[in-house]
Amino acid sequence: AQSVTQLDSHVSVSEGTPVLLRCNYSSSYSPSLFWYVQHPNKGLQLLLKYTSAATLVKGINGFEAEFKKSETSFHLTKPSAHMSDAAEYFCVVQISGGYNKLIFGAGTRLAVHP
Amino acid sequence: DAGVIQSPRHEVTEMGQEVTLRCKPISGHNSLFWYRQTMMRGLELLIYFNNNVPIDDSGMPEDRFSAKMPNASFSTLKIQPSEPRDSAVYFCASSLEGVPTDTQYFGPGTRLTVL
């Protein structure tokens, strides 16, 4: 069965420093993976998605993620954090072999300090 | 495009009352999903429709919950009777199935509080 584990429930960084949000996945197949962001009191917005093409995926707002099959990881990074990046981030795996069913990780809350 | 539209954005009701949440998916999308988000359980899929037909309702908590999609542009999630443990944020999402790795687009959510 497919699943995702977000290794940190909270991450705190200073503005201008790099961001790393960690995600490990479990899948019998080559998975489709996503990162979604949720700002306070808002809906979820797609940041980026991996679809078995390039292993380094670039998303919106300067975020990118690298698919590493050997490590079963799909970590989200950004070189320089901005105050507006403070939000909750969800790593998501798509169930294969069926419809577009998504399994969400528990989320990582990112705090950015001045 | 206006995106996925949900109403109301906030709902406060008393235990035992009927609650109806509404969703308008993105025009042209053929798949619709209802999710519930709570602190304890995170994001859970409640039900999935494809071409207005319920395909997977295994996430619907109990008989008090029901969902309908009478046409391609409208869906409702009803809770009757409501209970305090139903308090959560309910999201609707839509996608165009058949497109490789379809992306789900989420609405802003309805925050439900049952007193």
What digits encode the pLDDT tens for the residues B12-51?
999 999 999 999 999 999 999 999 999 888 899 999 999 9
Chain centroid, CA A9 distance in Å: 12
Evaluate if residue B89 carries a pLDDT over 70: yes
Torsion of CA A11, A14, A17, A21, to 10 degrees: 10
- Residue A94: its chain B contacts at CB < 8 A? 101
Q: What is the mean pLDDT of chain B?
A: 92
**d(C-alpha A112, C-alpha B11), whole Å:** 31
Give contacts of B96 with chain A, Cβ < 8 Å. none
DSSP 8-class letter at B25: P
Compute the nearest-CA separation of A31 from chain B (Å): 10
CA B81 – CA B101 distance, rounded (Å):
37
d(C-alpha B96, C-alpha B103), whole Å: 8
Rounded alpha-carbon distances, angstroms, from residue A102 to A38, A111, B51: 16, 26, 18
Angstrom distance (rounded) from CA B108 to CA B34: 12
Task: Compare CB distances from A100 to B42, B102, B107 and report the shortest one's residue.
Answer: B102
* A42 neighbourhood in chain B, CB within 8 Å: 108-109
Cα(B35)–Cα(B65) distance, integer angstroms: 12
Tell me what the mean pLDDT of segment A4-29 comes to: 94
A42-46, A103-107, B34-38, B95-99: segment of lowest average pLDDT: B95-99
- Residue B115 pLDDT: 96
CA A35 to chain centre: 3
Say yes or no to pLDDT of A24 above 90: yes
Q: Are B42 and A107 in contact (CB < 8 Å)?
A: yes
Residue B100 scores a pLDDT above 60: no
CA dihedral B20→B42→A57→A110, nearest 10 degrees, is 110
**In the numeric block, which tokens belong to residue A109?**
């809350």
User: What is the pairing mode between strands A56-58 and A64-68?
Assistant: antiparallel
Q: Which residues pair with B74 in a beta bridge?
A: B71
Question: Greatest CA span in chain B, whole angstroms?
Answer: 43
For A62-80, write each residue's pLDDT tens digit: 999 999 989 999 999 999 9
Residue of B106, B110, B112, B113 to mutate for A, most A C-beta atoms under 10 A: B106
For the segment A52-71, the average pLDDT, to the nearest whole number, is 91
Partners of B66 in the beta sheet?
A: B78
pLDDT at B93: 94
Q: Which of A87-96, A105-114, B73-82 is least confident? A: A87-96
Mean pLDDT of chain A: 91
B109 at the A interface (CB within 8 A)?
yes
Q: Count Cβ atoms within 10 A of the Cβ of residue B14 and give its class: 0-12 exposed, 13-18 middle, 19 or more buried.
A: exposed
3-class SS of residue A62: helix
